[in-house]
Amino acid sequence: MFKVGQCFGETSVIGIQPHAASALAMEDTELMILSQKALLELHQTDPELFGILILNIAREACRRLYKTDQILLHYAQSKKAS
> pLDDT digit of tens for each residue in the chain (82 aa)?
788 878 788 878 887 777 777 888 888 988 888 888 999 999 999 999 999 999 998 998 899 899 999 999 999 998 887 7
Rounded Cα–Cα distance for residues 9 and 12 (Å): 5
In a domain, 53, yes or no: yes
In a domain, 1, yes or no: no
DSSP state of 5: T
Domain ranges, residue 50: 36-82
Assign 74 to helix, strand or coil: helix
In a domain, 78, yes or no: yes
pTM of the predicted structure, to 2 decimals: 0.71
